[in-house]
C-alpha cells in the first residue's frame, strides 16, 4: 500500500486503540510479522448509495442467470449441501 506507515505486529498489538483512532481519521498501516507485511489496517469507508444500488443490480442479474424461468430453481442451501458431500 502506498502512503501507509509500516508497523510491527507486536507494536500494533500494544497500540491497537491508538491505531484504530488514527485509521478512523484516515491513516493506513501495513502490519508486519518477522519483517514481512502480513496485514493492512485501513480506514473503513461507507459506500455511496449508487455503489450499493449497482451491487444489488449485479446480484439480481446473476440470480436471473442461475434461475432462468421455466427451470428448477437453484438454492444456495442446496449448493452448500452438495459441496459437503
Higher-confidence residue of 42 and 61: namely: 42
Residue 65: pLDDT above 70? Answer: no
The neighbour count for residue 15, using CB atoms within 10 Å, is 14
**pLDDT tens-digit readout, 2-60:** 568 999 999 999 999 999 999 999 999 999 999 999 999 999 988 889 999 999 888 88
Largest CA distance in the chain: 59
Q: How far apart are the C-alpha atoms of 42 and 30, rounded to whole Å?
A: 9
Domain boundaries, the chain: 5-41, 49-84
Give the CA radius of gyration of the chain: 21
pLDDT-derived band at 67 (thresholds 50, 70, 90) equals low
Give the model's pLDDT for residue 64: 66
- Indicate whether 78 pLDDT > 90: no
**Residues whose CB is less than 8 angstroms from the CB of residue 21 and which lie 6 or more positions away in sequence, other chains included:** none
Which architecture does CATH list for 5-41?
3-Layer(aba) Sandwich (3.40)
Amino acid at each position: 500500500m502506498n502512503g501507509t506507515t509500516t508497523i510491527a505486529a507486536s507494536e500494533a498489538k500494544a497500540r491497537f486503540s491508538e491505531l484504530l483512532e488514527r485509521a478512523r481519521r484516515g491513516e493506513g498501516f501495513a502490519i508486519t510479522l518477522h519483517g514481512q507485511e502480513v496485514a493492512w489496517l485501513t480506514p473503513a469507508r461507507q459506500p455511496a448509495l449508487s455503489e450499493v444500488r449497482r451491487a444489488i443490480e449485479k446480484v439480481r442479474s446473476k440470480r436471473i442467470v442461475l434461475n432462468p424461468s421455466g427451470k428448477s430453481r437453484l438454492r444456495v442451501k442446496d449448493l452448500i449441501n452438495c459441496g459437503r458431500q
